[in-house]
Amino acid sequence: MVTKQLLQPESIVVVGASNNVHKPGGAILRNLISGGYKGELRGVNPKETEVQGITAYPNVHDIPDTDLAILAIPAALCPEAVEVLASTKQTRAFIVLSAGFGEETHEGALLEQQILDTVNKYGASLIGPNCIGLLNTWHHSVFTQPIPNLNPQGVDLISSSGATAVFILESAVVKGLQFNSVWSVGNAKQIGVEDVLQYMDETFNPETDSDIKLIYIESIKDPDRMLFHASSLIRKGCKIAAIKAGSSESGSRAASSHTGAIASSDSAVEALFRKAGIVRCFSREELTTVGCIFTLPELKGRNFAIVTHAGGPGVMLTDALSKGGLNVPKLEGPIADELKSKLFPGASVSNPIDILATGTPEQLSTVIDYCEEKFENIDAILAIFGTPGLVTMFETYEVLHQKMLTCKKPIFPVLPSINTAGKEVDEFLKKGHVNFADEVTLGTALSRIMNASCPATNEIELFGVDVPKIRRIIDSIPENGYIAPNYVQDLLKSAGIPLVSEFVSDIKSDVIAFAQRTGFPVVAKVVGPVHKSDVGGVVLNITSKQHLALEFDRMMQIPEAKAVMVQPMLKGTELFIGAKYEEKFGHVVLCGLGGIFVEVLKDVSSGLAPLSYEEAYSMIRSLRAYKIIKGTRGQKGVNEDKFAEIIVRLSTLLRFATEIKEMDINPLLATEKDVIAVDARIRIDKN
């Protein structure tokens, strides 16, 4: 519950206020005072009548009514203080900085629950316990440094961890990133990351509210709520980037299928972020760099011009962009020649555009003008300019400042000399700009943004999927575990997934008769053991009935063998689709190259069922092996549309058959015309 008293309190009391700014109660009071808090500020300190120039009271019983209470006292004393403040002082917002609660002991968890019961009883807000506080443009209720530049159009940061929030701020401040609010939810006993997102979504005003949200989260307690409100905010025009740290126990437990072996809670997070449209980051530097990019004009294309006076950084940035699927197109022809004539001898304009260490601010201006007005195949400009040690950079950075105000194409300033040109960089940042000191981090962040998905639609693709038949099949399966091949076939057919013809029997003559009708060569597989290849239960390219008879006899001797399956021998690129049920998230669908590559390379992408066609294409195109799917080096590609269709159909099947806990379709054999499922297994649990 987020109350007005939490966000815009008319009065604040610091319980545990101190003159010692090296204690939380002293540091948070210092930050409130230096932050210019305009309301009534008071403290509670049994030994002082005045603390840092403000009135102090001996205990909470003595203070006037107060909107917000910040507690910096031992955990054992907090429940009583909260009860007194809520019941007698009309306090409707609490920030509990103290540690020693549920994060440490069972007794601490009981104290935490007492506090929660009280604040809920009185309709109050609770941040923490075990947090650094809340920072916004109204009040600086944190005990940490740094305090960033605050701006209503700055970034909203929501963090599970207080220390990590501080480190994110450290990373952001040197880049010039400004903030609207910083939420440290700590133990999140009442208000967690999902609650803050929900509040921001339900109260969002595009005219006044920040449209950039950065998140650090350690545990997604309510995936559905996070998905709903994050995607809702993004549809309203917001941009969201997040780090998800840690993985759950379920991600490391032993699994019996290929999918179970490679899927993890992290796959579920990846799928959730893809569905919501969240840009996923993996470090504080990435997160703050993405946040800085969000503050600049939106990118309209994937083609970049790199302008620099240093060749090496330009090459490294080119590599980082190319690795992420972005382009640094070669600049050539009459316009490029014309530009080169305006630069010093030895300069290069092929892209990166290197104007040399002796390049002037006027030449930088000219290059940017050409990229803005004359090179039509350029969508954005990356300017790498540190000091070459020959001149000060004030004039150069003033050129960047003016061009960033007037150019329609985004300009990304990479100013690496934050020591030798510190004054110049500071002056540039004071004009409201951001700085990307590391070009490779910038290239990686741009790739993450450009390759992120849009929020998925909520519609389920039902065309061609026989839902009543799927339910009848599931209901008819007699027991849990891996189901018989006939059930697998029936389920996939009901979902409209194309299957290779096959025959299963424990009678040798019937197996041979099917092979003769189908035509040799064929494939034989043992039925019974889960991992057929591991026990010698798969034989390819059987070309005669004699060979098939020998393999039938051998396979029926394998432990747990029940029958033999025979299929025509097909050719094509091996693909893989799998799914695993993840607690709280639902079914995570994975795809990638098939055969042994799925476990050896682990090049898979994930999505959260049910999937749209846009999500399916995004999954396929995010694979490192996408060039193989597309076709490369004279090898024909596969039918990407059919692959996406099967992914979508499988996700719809899973939506209506939640009893399926793990499944593989491996391989699917794909050609430029068709994609056909060759082998599949499904494990169900009706409990």
Answer yes or no: are the C-beta atoms of 9 and 65 closer than 8 Å. no
Give the domain ranges of the chain: 4-135, 146-294, 304-433, 456-500+570-687, 501-569
Answer yes or no: are the C-beta atoms of 58 and 50 closer than 8 Å. no
Rg of the chain over Cα atoms, rounded to whole angstroms, equals 31
**Is residue 125 left, alpha or beta, with left meaning phi > 0 and alpha meaning psi from -120 to 50?**
beta
- What pLDDT score does 155 carry? 97
Contacts of residue 348, Cβ cutoff 8 Å, sequence gap at least 6:
340, 354
- For residue 362, CA distances in Å to 344, 358, 644 come to 12, 11, 51
Q: From CA 291, how far away is CA 294, in angstroms rounded?
A: 5
Local structure of residue 35 (DSSP, 8 states): T
User: How many CB atoms lie under 10 A from the CB of residue 664?
Assistant: 23
- What pLDDT score does 625 carry? 86
Q: From CA 39, how far away is CA 69, in angstroms rounded?
A: 13
What are the φ and ψ backbone dihedral angles of 68, each rounded to 5 degrees? Answer: -125, 130
- What pLDDT score does 264 carry? 54
Q: From CA 612, how far away is CA 626, in angstroms rounded?
A: 19
For residue 684, count CB atoms less than 10 angstroms from its CB and return exposed for 0-12, middle for 13-18, buried for 19 or more.
Answer: buried
CATH assignment of 304-433, among 3.40.50.261, 3.40.1380.20, 1.10.1740.10, 3.90.76.10: 3.40.50.261
Q: Which fold has domain 4-135?
A: Rossmann fold (3.40.50)
Answer yes or no: are the C-beta atoms of 215 and 158 closer than 8 Å. yes
- What pLDDT score does 388 carry? 73
Tell which CATH architecture fits domain 456-500+570-687: 2-Layer Sandwich (3.30)
Query: Taking the chain (687 residues) in consecutive chunks of 10 residues, what is each chunk's mean pLDDT?
Result: 96 97 96 96 96 97 98 97 98 96 90 97 97 96 95 95 95 96 96 97 96 95 95 97 73 43 71 96 96 95 95 94 94 96 94 92 96 96 86 89 96 93 94 95 96 90 94 95 93 95 94 94 92 90 95 95 93 92 93 80 89 94 89 85 97 96 92 92 93
Contacts of residue 227, Cβ cutoff 8 Å, sequence gap at least 6:
272, 275, 276, 608
Task: For the sheet with 50-51, list strands across it.
Answer: 50-51, 54-57, 40-44, 11-15, 68-71, 93-96, 125-127
Q: Quick one: three-class SS letters along 612-674?
A: CHHHHHHHHHCCCCHHHHHCCCCCCCCCHHHHHHHHHHHHHHHHCCCCEEEEEEEEEEECCCC
Task: For the sheet with 353-354, list strands across it.
Answer: 353-354, 304-308, 380-384, 411-414
Scan for tokens 């069972």, then name that residue: 106
Beta-strand (E) ranges in 264-379?
A: 279-281, 304-308, 353-354
- What pLDDT score does 396 carry? 93
Answer yes or no: are the C-beta atoms of 625 and 643 closer than 8 Å. no
Q: Tokens for 46, please give them.
A: 């049994």
Q: From CA 150, how far away is CA 178, in angstroms rounded?
A: 6
Overall residue count recorded for the chain in this entry: 687
What are the φ and ψ backbone dihedral angles of 135, each rounded to 5 degrees? Answer: -125, 125
The H-or-E segment that residue 23 falls in is: none
CATH 3.20.20.70 fits 146-294, yes or no: no
CA 295 centroid distance within chain: 19
**3 state SS of 169:** helix
What are the φ and ψ backbone dihedral angles of 420, each rounded to 5 degrees? Answer: -70, -25
Beta-strand (E) ranges in 279-417?
A: 279-281, 304-308, 353-354, 380-384, 411-414
Q: From CA 18, how far away is CA 2, in angstroms rounded?
A: 28
For residue 500, count CB atoms less than 10 angstroms from its CB and return exposed for 0-12, middle for 13-18, buried for 19 or more.
Answer: middle
4-135 shares its CATH topology with 146-294: yes
Task: Please spell the DSSP secondary structure of 562-606, one letter per residue.
Answer: -EEEEEE---SEEEEEEEEEETTTEEEEEEEE-TTHHHHT--EEE
Query: Residue type for 49, please?
Result: T
**Is residue 561 left, alpha or beta, with left meaning phi > 0 and alpha meaning psi from -120 to 50?**
beta
Q: Which of 594, 614, 617 is nearest to 604 (CA)?
A: 594
For residue 146, count CB atoms less than 10 angstroms from its CB and return exposed for 0-12, middle for 13-18, buried for 19 or more.
Answer: exposed
- What pLDDT score does 253 carry? 41
Pairing mode, strands 563-568 and 522-527: antiparallel
CATH 3.40.50.150 fits 501-569, yes or no: no
Answer yes or no: are the C-beta atoms of 232 and 278 closer than 8 Å. no
- What pLDDT score does 251 carry? 38
Scan for tokens 């009901």, then name that residue: 494
Scan for tokens 């991992």, then name that residue: 531
**3 state SS of 152:** strand
Q: Tokens for 275, please give them.
A: 């569905």
Answer yes or no: are the C-beta atoms of 453 and 272 closer than 8 Å. no
Q: How far apart are the first and last CA of the chain?
A: 35
